[in-house]
Amino acid sequence: NVFAMSDLAPFVAATLRDKVVQDLLEENRKLRRKLDNLQKVEITGPGGSPIYASGAFQDGNWQNGGHLWGDVKLEMATSADGSEVVVPVSYLNNIEIRLGGVVYASSDGEVFGFMDESDWDGEMRKEVNCHYSSDKNNLWLPLRIRQWPQSHWSTIQEMEYAGRTTGERFDAHDALLEQVAVAFPDATVSFPLATFFSSGVQELIKKLEIPSISEEEKQEDEDVMRLFNVVSMMLRSRGNNENGEAFANSVYEIVSAVRLLGLNISGEEFATEVLTLVNAQMESSQSGVDFISQVRETHNIQAPDNDESGQHEQNGGESA
């Protein structure tokens, strides 16, 4: 019973097919690992170790098709016992933000911190928003500080707000390293997310095939961002020291009034018009008068039939 080569041909062909399939699968796995590594966002110590937090670039909440910015949610690393790693505030002096295993920005570059309001703030915790820049790369990194008494962070916040009003720059990031790390050695930091600007990650955005938007939509969204920034800065300059949701509501009220009146953000009188609204909103807030209703009455604008009081703008509801 001697087999001829022709008898073995089907078996040889099947084996070769399996080998080709296996090679293709292995190549796909290598490409997938390479892509996963390319998309990995990590907050680390010097040289990439230890890893404090990580996330996936492709899972980010990308605004405007990736043309402006994107929030990438981060998860804190865990220790062998399953507990979250402890990162002392003093470690902020030497951290790296890595994208695809490569340093994207770090504490060696320019870092500046703001004491923006956050619903996460509490009696023993405070969120500080920091801007990291290195060469052409830049991003925002919120820092959540635990074991930091409100009696102290509120003082730092007042100093930072005062700096915004006078034009004297107060760096909350420096305060973390020079004051908090010294006075409260048990204070720790965690990293909930990283916000990337599209200018530094366009190539990766293209590889992920994030859908684009029209130039008109892009301009509209940029105008909205500018409007919120202008209103926030004017409120602070006029002495509004509200925190968290209270401050957000004040901003939304004024933005709603701007849209209600159809003010042109590119107009020469825009800053003056917004300042007038800011002053009026602060006065109505102190007197308990509904601001949007007051704007309608002053400018003789009829409220929608389903909302005579104008409360829906104030509360962020949809217009009729």
**Does the pLDDT at position 107 exceed 90?**
yes
**Does the pLDDT at position 205 exceed 80?**
no
Using CA atoms, how far apart are residues 214 and 212, in angstroms rounded to an integer? 7
The whole-number pLDDT of residue 227 equals: 81
Report long-range pairs for 167-175 (Cβ below 8 Å, ≥24 apart): 169/112, 171/112, 171/113, 172/113, 172/114, 172/115, 172/128, 172/130, 173/92, 173/111, 173/112, 173/113, 173/128, 173/130, 174/113, 175/113
In tens, the pLDDT along 251-277 reads 888 888 888 888 888 777 888 888 899
- Cβ of 216: how many Cβ atoms within 10 Å? 8
Q: How confident is the model over 293-310, as a mean pLDDT?
A: 72
Q: Residue 317: which pLDDT band, with cuts at 50, 70 and 90?
A: very low
DSSP of 277-320, one letter per residue?
HHHHHHHHHHHT--HHHHHHHHTT-PPPTT-TT-HHHHTT----
